[in-house]
Amino acid sequence: MHNRALMAKLLVLLLALPLSGSLISEDENSMEDKVSVPSGGSEIGDVPHRDPIIESDQMWWDRTSLDLNRNGIHDSLESDDPMQWVGLSYSRSVQPNDVMLLKSLGLEPKVHVPAVDALLLGQIETELLDDLSSLEGVVMVEEYGKLRFFGDIQTPATKASSSEVYPHGAWDLGVTGHGVNIALTDTGVDSEHPGLSGKHIAGYDAVCFVHSDPMCILAGGRQTDGSFDPDDGNQHGTACMGMAAATGIGPDGEQTGFYGSAPNATLIDVRIGTDVGAGPFENYLLEQEFYESAMNGLQWIIDNKDTPWQGVDESLHGIDIISLSWGITSHEGGGSDGQDMHSRILDEATLAGVTVSVAAGNDGPDNDGFSGMGSSSLSITVGSTDDQNTIERSDDTIAGYSSRGPRKDNGDNNPVNELKPDVSAPGTNIIQAEGCVSSGGCNNNLPGQDASSNSYTGRGSGTSYATPAVTGVIALMIEANPLLDPLTIREILKMTAERRGDPTYPDIDPYWNRDFGWGIVDARKAVELALHMANSSEYGLVDWTKQAHILNSTDQGAKLLLRGHSWAIEGQVSRVEYRIGDGDWKEVAYEQDNIGGSALTPFNWSLTIDKTRIGSTVQNLEIRAVGDAGASVPIVMSVQGHDDEGGQSNLVFTISVLAATLLASVVAISVVKSRFDRGQIEESAIMAEIVE
């Protein structure tokens, strides 16, 4: 965990990448009767800004689209409302004098959020906004958002578990999430549920933190050391944790098929909402205070990312993943640009070494951008597919409710971080782990009642439910390779995903689609690549901004011909290299001279492998792009050697990268039409045997 945090920080220092997206309000159980929209079936919004990426000294507050008149106040706050809910962002750490100054103005700060150098003030008079924006150190007066919560077949469909359809799942590689802590940040979790029993490691009640919660006051306040175990008065949190990590055990001890993606992962239960979603109605007069508990809960996670929890083995210390199946609404037209306070705190969590899995939202194909949380530049934003209640993925479509990309432009001249969602996963009509809620026959508030007799009932739909499926896959990857940093994890998920839909902006990225992101998550391939990198000393620090992809492949018996392309999201690619087995790295051949170029300028390369030199063995072939800050996530495939005396040859792809995308002619055809095909690529026949 310490290594992941260190590598994340080093990566930021080396790349200096200007990185910095909305989730919705709809009843998830009502989603199942919605009609899925085929890829490309809706209009595309404004194309992300495509100017070349250049280094800029501008800070986020000088370029954000949330303050177009550049007066240091969110444009949405400039209204006739006499009272507004406000937070202050500073250009530096908040000092005691800042708090004293606010108190002298009659204001009492409610929550300090050090991760983003911010203070939440609650509801104040609008006439004070100009004065607040002029305070020393204040760079933005921000408006509170409103938090909205957005769930059998799911686990085998992600290829986490094996099935008759996909006989080789990620669990077969020996990983089930053991030793990985998931901070399920939601309505709390009924950890007495038989499928969740024994998972609770630590907990925190951020709702109780809020100053106006009378139950919190009467109880003398909750503990901040992780010793509290929140209950779930809503069902949402229990359902989400079940989809991430349920063991499938039923109330009678029987083994059901309702596993989560990572059945041995453990729980850090961070409660930010309860019975009615936006805080318990008996405690809250105004839903904006839920925003305060959400921000406080996320700050607590960052503060405790390495905490040695009492009573557990050292292997279970700290926090590895944040799972967020909700979002904060944006007040700006077109959603958030990722520079709002709640998106920025997720970026900070990522840089601190905690991987963030967050829902894209349920606004459907006509959504107006993404809200906070899902707009975070560094998080893994998850869209939802409709698996048609089959494990087979060929009939999967994008769910009709799943929010489409891109995110609103944040003005940093980097169009890639506007490409949200990142990946997609099954989230439609999913069976849920049943919590003990007051709306059913079980009530947490009655003595002796809990979820220990509950099973898996009811179905729900939403990106809320796709997100924990991906959270579980991330847990499998971390168990496979504990040294992976969050940005490398995201890149592996993107590269190993099963491509769907035509590229939306091929000039920016030839594989991203506004419905599916980079594709449907493939747990098996993601874990394979994570394990490969764990077993190689070559991948200590990955530069995820460098890209290497295969376009087509031809097996000629004794020779294997590969053609691909590479580019840099930021900086330059200095070379593309390959090796066979543990041999020396060698450089590929290039189809043009200007292989360096500028960011987002691709170049083509080719590679011929003489398989007679491999003999009769099977060897790994690796290909990677290299820049000043390190090498890309590699392409990895296994190559069967050729018998020089006329034996049969075959190329077996156990590809850990790009899956069907590398083989789909539709991608190659799309690339031909873009500047990502500089070498007039001709479609080649693929004679490889594909092995799942």
Q: For residue range 11-45, what is the model confidence (pLDDT) as tens digits?
A: 433 333 332 222 222 333 333 333 233 333 334 44
Mean pLDDT value across residues 685-691: 24
CATH of the domain at 268: 3.40.50.200
Amino acid 48: pLDDT:
52
- Nearest of 651, 598, 596, 652 to residue 625 by alpha carbon: 596
Mean pLDDT value across residues 533-558: 88
Amino acid 294: pLDDT:
87
Amino acid 37: pLDDT:
31
* Contacts of the segment 168-171: beta carbons below 8 A, 24+ positions apart: 168/524, 168/692, 169/523, 169/524, 170/473, 170/476, 170/523, 170/524, 170/526, 170/527, 171/476
Instruction: For residue 515, tell me if it sits in a domain.
Output: no
- Nearest of 419, 423, 418, 421 to residue 337 by alpha carbon: 418
Range list of H helices, 461-565: 463-480, 486-496, 523-534
By percentage, how much of the chain surpasses pLDDT 90? Answer: 51
Domain boundary among 447, 481, 515: 481
Amino acid 498: pLDDT:
96
Assess whether 426 and 549 both reside in one domain: no
Cβ atoms < 10 Å from Cβ of 214: 9
| pLDDT of 197 above 60 | yes
Amino acid 476: pLDDT:
98
Look up residue 579 and give its two tokens: 């090796």
Assess whether 467 and 608 both reside in one domain: no
Amino acid 592: pLDDT:
80
Assess whether 392 and 464 both reside in one domain: yes
Q: How far apart are CA 160 and CA 683, in angstroms?
A: 33
- What is the overall mean pLDDT for the chain? 81
| pLDDT of 50 above 70 | no
* Band (692; pLDDT cuts 50, 70, 90): very low
Mean pLDDT value across residues 499-526: 96
Residue type at 133?
S
By percentage, how much of the chain surpasses pLDDT 70? Answer: 78
Question: 15-29, 459-473, 507-521: lowest mean pLDDT where?
Answer: 15-29
Instruction: For residue 684, tell me if it sits in a domain.
Output: yes
User: Is there a contact between 358 and 160 (Cβ–Cβ < 8 Å)?
Assistant: no
Model confidence, pTM: 0.81
Count structural domains, the chain: 2
125-138 pLDDT, tens digit per residue, is 999 999 999 999 99
Look up residue 244 and give its two tokens: 């991430």
3-state secondary structure of 255: strand
Residues 6+ apart with CB under 8 A from 179: 266, 315, 316, 479
Mean pLDDT value across residues 418-423: 96
* Band (437; pLDDT cuts 50, 70, 90): confident
Assess whether 540 and 631 both reside in one domain: yes
* Band (209; pLDDT cuts 50, 70, 90): low
| pLDDT of 595 above 90 | no
Number of H helices, E strands in the chain: 14, 27
* Band (196; pLDDT cuts 50, 70, 90): very high
Structure-model confidence comparison of residues 169 and 57, the more confident one: 169
Assess whether 248 and 368 both reside in one domain: yes
Q: How far apart are CA 66 and CA 71, in angstroms?
A: 11
Which helix (H) or strand (E) segment is 349 a member of?
helix 341-351
Residue identified by tokens 């896959």 is 473
Assess whether 554 and 678 both reside in one domain: yes
Structure-model confidence comparison of residues 33 and 171, the more confident one: 171
Instruction: For residue 486, tell me if it sits in a domain.
Output: no
Instruction: For residue 520, tell me if it sits in a domain.
Output: no
439-454 pLDDT, tens digit per residue, is 667 887 777 788 888 8
Mean pLDDT value across residues 565-588: 93
Assess whether 449 and 557 both reside in one domain: no
Q: How open is the CA angle 336-70-378, to the nearest 5 degrees? A: 35
Structure-model confidence comparison of residues 659 and 99, the more confident one: 99
* CA distances, 343 to each of 19, 85, 595 (Å): 11, 18, 35
What is the crossing angle of helices 523-534 and 486-496, to 10°?
A: 130
Instruction: For residue 509, tell me if it sits in a domain.
Output: no
Q: How far apart are CA 462 and CA 183, in angstroms?
A: 20
Assess whether 598 and 470 both reside in one domain: no
Q: How far apart are CA 112 and CA 339, in angstroms?
A: 18
| pLDDT of 216 above 90 | no
Residue type at 272?
I
Domain that holds residue 313: 21-48+147-481
* Band (273; pLDDT cuts 50, 70, 90): confident
Assess whether 431 and 563 both reside in one domain: no
Q: How far apart are CA 315 and CA 334, in angstroms?
A: 43
Mean pLDDT value across residues 1-8: 48
* CA distances, 376 to each of 62, 114, 349 (Å): 18, 17, 11
Amino acid 282: pLDDT:
34
331-383 pLDDT, tens digit per residue, is 666 688 999 888 999 999 999 999 999 999 888 888 777 877 889 999 999 99
User: Is there a contact between 684 and 668 (Cβ–Cβ < 8 Å)?
Assistant: no
Q: How far apart are CA 483 and CA 148, in angstroms?
A: 34
How would you label 283-315 residue by residue, b for 16+ Cβ within 10 Å and e otherwise?
bbeebbbbbbbbbbbbbbbbebbebebeeeeee
Amino acid 654: pLDDT:
35
Question: 4-13, 294-303, 443-452: lowest mean pLDDT where?
Answer: 4-13
| pLDDT of 570 above 70 | yes
In which region does residue 615 sit, left (phi positive, over 0), alpha (psi from -120 to 50) or beta (all else)? Answer: left
3-state secondary structure of 328: strand
Paired with 124 in beta bridges are: 84
- Beta strands 618-627 and 635-640: pairing type? antiparallel
* CA distances, 301 to each of 78, 201, 203, 313 (Å): 33, 13, 10, 19
3-state secondary structure of 184: strand
Instruction: For residue 498, tell me if it sits in a domain.
Output: no
Q: How far apart are CA 604 and CA 573, in angstroms?
A: 12
* CA distances, 618 to each of 360, 581, 639, 690 (Å): 41, 9, 5, 15
Domain boundary among 455, 481, 507: 481
Amino acid 27: pLDDT:
36
Assess whether 547 and 452 both reside in one domain: no
Amino acid 599: pLDDT:
87
Mean pLDDT value across residues 499-505: 95
Structure-model confidence comparison of residues 226 and 458, the more confident one: 226
**What is the sign, positive or negative, of the torsion defined by CA atoms of 332, 335, 338, 340?**
positive
User: Is there a contact between 157 and 393 (Cβ–Cβ < 8 Å)?
Assistant: yes
How would you label 509-522 residue by residue, b for 16+ Cβ within 10 Å and e otherwise?
bbbbbbbbbbbbbb
619-653 pLDDT, tens digit per residue, is 999 999 999 889 999 999 999 888 755 444 343 33
Instruction: For residue 3, tell me if it sits in a domain.
Output: no
Backbone angles phi, psi at 324, to 5 degrees: -125, 105
User: Is there a contact between 436 and 231 (Cβ–Cβ < 8 Å)?
Assistant: yes
CATH of the domain at 581: 2.60.40.10
Assess whether 549 and 469 both reside in one domain: no
Question: 13-27, 287-301, 378-392, 574-588: lowest mean pLDDT where?
Answer: 13-27
| pLDDT of 475 above 60 | yes
* CA distances, 561 to each of 7, 158, 621, 688 (Å): 36, 31, 13, 11
